């Protein structure tokens, strides 16, 4: 029993740091991009930070940890500050997934660099957890990126699709946003999200690792 508990503790110890970084970086990217485009709302609410505590949604974090999909607290964005609201909202939305893919690629690169060195037994205890954290960083960041580009508002993919559609169609599409999370939950429970997400996630992770 105690052996099982210690194993789980060690697993969580290497899984949680990359998870928190992936979530915080995703939301920070939204906040930073919005701020650069003229919207200070996120900065004023303390969201322009890599401190994960400012971004965590308890349910979304647990979902990502246990079910391999999840979310953080959405960054507040006020489109009235933007010179080109539709275009700028699309860039703010894209910033999160693109940052996650960048972190996944950077983690994979560091893994390859570490793999090129011969590590003796005296350093194995230090390098082994780092390698596991980097592998989880690749996995979590790819999952976050792919999950968030699902074109259902309020996910980032829904914002991007709204920015690409003609204004009239975008306005019609945006009307499903109040029901977006319910629709997403139903798709997740039905297994449809997993079926759609699995191929690109597995392909990207395989290419990186």
Helix/strand/coil (H/E/C) assignment for every residue in 140-168: HHHHHHHHHCCCCCCCHHHHHHHHHCCHH
The overall average pLDDT reported for the chain is: 87
- pLDDT for 64 equals 67
Cα separation, 158 vs 195, whole angstroms? 19
Looking at the chain, how many residues does it have? 209
By C-alpha distance, which of 43, 20, 44 is closest to 33?
43
Q: What is the full DSSP assignment across 40-79?
A: -HHHHTT-SS--GGGT--HHHHHHHHHHS----PPPP--G
Burial class (CB in 10 A: 0-12, 13-18, 19+), 94: buried
- CB of 96 within 8 A of CB of 146? no
Give the CA distances from residue 143 to residues 4, 59, 156, 200, in Å, rounded to whole numbers and listed in that order.
Answer: 27, 17, 13, 9
27 part of the active site:
yes
> Using CA of residue 157, residue 163, residue 166, residue 167, what is the dihedral sign?
positive
Cα separation, 137 vs 150, whole angstroms? 21
Per-residue pLDDT of 159-172, as tens digits, reads 999 989 998 998 89
Per-residue pLDDT of 99-152, as tens digits, reads 999 999 999 999 998 887 766 565 665 778 888 999 999 999 999 999 999 998
Of 21, 27, 30, 33, which is the active-site residue?
27
The answer, yes or no, to whether residue 78 has pLDDT greater than 60, is yes
Res. 97 pLDDT band, cuts 50 70 90: very high
The half-sphere exposure of 183 on its side-chain side, counting CA atoms within 13 A, is 13
């Amino acid at each position: 029993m105690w052996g099982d508990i210690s194993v789980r503790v060690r697993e969580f110890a290497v899984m949680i740091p990359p998870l928190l970084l992936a979530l915080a970086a995703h939301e920070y990217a939204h906040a930073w991009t919005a701020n650069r485009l003229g919207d200070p709302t996120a900065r004023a609410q303390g969201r322009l930070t890599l401190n994960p505590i400012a971004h965590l949604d308890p349910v979304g974090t647990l979902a990502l940890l246990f079910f391999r999909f999840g979310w953080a607290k959405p960054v507040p964005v006020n489109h009235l500050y933007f010179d080109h609201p539709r275009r700028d909202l699309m860039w703010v939305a894209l910033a999160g997934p693109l940052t996650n893919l960048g972190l996944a690629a950077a983690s994979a690169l560091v893994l390859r660099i570490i793999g090129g060195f011969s590590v003796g037994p005296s350093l194995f205890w230090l390098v082994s957890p780092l390698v596991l954290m980097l592998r989880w960083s690749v996995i979590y960041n790819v999952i976050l990126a792919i999950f968030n580009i699902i074109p259902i508002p309020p996910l980032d993919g829904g914002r991007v699709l709204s920015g690409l559609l003609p204004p009239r169609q975008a306005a019609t599409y945006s009307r499903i946003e109040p029901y977006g999370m319910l629709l997403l939950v139903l798709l997740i429970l039905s297994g449809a999200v997993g079926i759609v997400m699995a191929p690109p996630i597995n392909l990207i992770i395989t290419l990186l690792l």
